C-alpha cells in the first residue's frame, strides 16, 4: 500500500482491532436480524397474519432489505479502502517521515465511520420493519442524528491531528 510515492503498512493496535471486531460483530448481528426478518415475512406468524391475511406482500417487506444491503455494500467498500493505495494529499504536507502516521489516522477514521454508518442503518432497518406492522413510529431517528454529529466530530478531530503532524495545510501557490 502507498500514500503517494511512500510505502506504508497496515498497523494493528488494540484500539484498531477493537473497532474492527466491533464492526464485524455488528455485521454479524445485522445479518442474523435480516435473516430473521426474511423468515418472518416468508413464513409469517399470527401477528403478521392478522395484519396480512393473504401473506405479506413483497412491496411491504422488500424495503426492509434495502438498508441492510446498503450496510453490507458500505462495509465491503470500507474494507477495500483499507487495502487501496491513497493519492498524495493536496491539502497536507505528507512526506516519507509522516506517511505512515497519515495512513494510520485515515484507517482509524475509516473504522469509526464504518461503525457509525452501521449503527444508523441498523436503526433505520428497525424503523422500516416497524412500519411493516403499521406501527405508529416516527421516521425521525435521534440515533441517526447523533451518529452524524459524532461522525463530523471524529472527522474534524482526525483532520486536526493530521494537520498537527503534517505541518499544516499546503497553500494553492505551492502547487
Note the pLDDT of residue 92: 87
pLDDT in tens, 105-158: 999 999 999 999 999 998 888 888 888 777 788 888 898 999 999 999 999 999
- The cell numbers describing 3, all together, are 500514500
74 close to 81: Cβ distance less than 8 angstroms: no
d(CA 133, CA 143): 21
pLDDT of 172 strictly over 60:
no
d(CA 159, CA 105): 9
- Considering its fold, how many domains does the chain have in total? 1
> What are the Cα distances from residue 38, in Å, to 132, 134, 137, 154, 158?
12, 17, 21, 35, 39
pLDDT of 18 strictly over 90:
yes
Three-state DSSP class for residue 17: helix
The values of phi and psi at residue 6, to 5°, are: -100, 130
Query: Quick one: average pLDDT of 98-106?
Result: 93
Q: Mean pLDDT of all residues in the chain?
A: 87
Note the pLDDT of residue 43: 81
107 Cβ contact partners less than 8 Å away, ≥ 6 residues apart: 10, 11, 16, 82
**pTM: predicted TM-score of the whole model, two decimal places:** 0.84
Question: What share of the chain in percent tops pLDDT 90?
Answer: 45
d(CA 1, CA 164): 23
The neighbouring-strand residues paired with 7 are 2
Note the pLDDT of residue 158: 94
The winner for highest mean pLDDT among 32-46, 88-102, 124-138, 159-173 is 88-102
Q: Which domain holds residue 146?
A: 2-174
Q: Where are the beta strands (DSSP E) in 2-104?
A: 2-3, 6-7
- Please state whether beta strands 6-7 and 2-3 pair in parallel, antiparallel, or not at all (unpaired): antiparallel
pLDDT of 59 strictly over 90:
no
d(CA 150, CA 155): 8
Query: Quick one: average pLDDT of 28-34?
Result: 90
Amino acid at each position: 500500500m502507498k500514500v503517494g510515492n511512500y510505502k506504508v503498512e497496515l498497523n494493528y493496535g488494540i484500539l484498531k482491532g477493537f473497532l474492527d471486531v466491533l464492526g464485524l460483530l455488528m455485521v454479524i448481528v445485522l445479518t442474523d436480524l435480516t435473516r430473521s426478518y426474511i423468515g418472518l415475512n416468508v413464513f409469517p406468524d399470527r401477528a403478521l397474519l392478522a395484519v396480512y391475511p393473504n401473506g405479506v406482500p413483497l412491496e411491504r417487506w422488500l424495503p426492509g432489505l434495502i438498508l441492510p444491503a446498503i450496510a453490507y455494500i458500505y462495509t465491503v467498500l470500507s474494507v477495500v479502502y483499507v487495502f487501496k493505495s491513497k493519492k498524495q494529499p493536496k491539502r497536507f504536507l505528507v512526506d516519507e517521515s509522516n506517511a505512515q502516521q497519515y495512513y494510520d489516522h485515515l484507517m482509524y477514521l475509516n473504522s469509526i465511520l464504518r461503525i457509525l454508518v452501521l449503527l444508523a442503518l441498523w436503526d433505520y432497518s428497525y424503523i422500516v420493519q416497524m412500519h411493516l406492522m403499521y406501527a405508529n413510529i416516527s421516521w425521525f431517528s435521534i440515533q441517526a442524528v447523533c451518529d452524524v454529529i459524532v461522525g463530523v466530530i471524529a472527522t474534524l478531530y482526525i483532520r486536526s491531528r493530521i494537520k498537527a503532524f503534517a505541518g499544516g495545510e499546503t497553500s494553492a501557490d505551492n502547487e
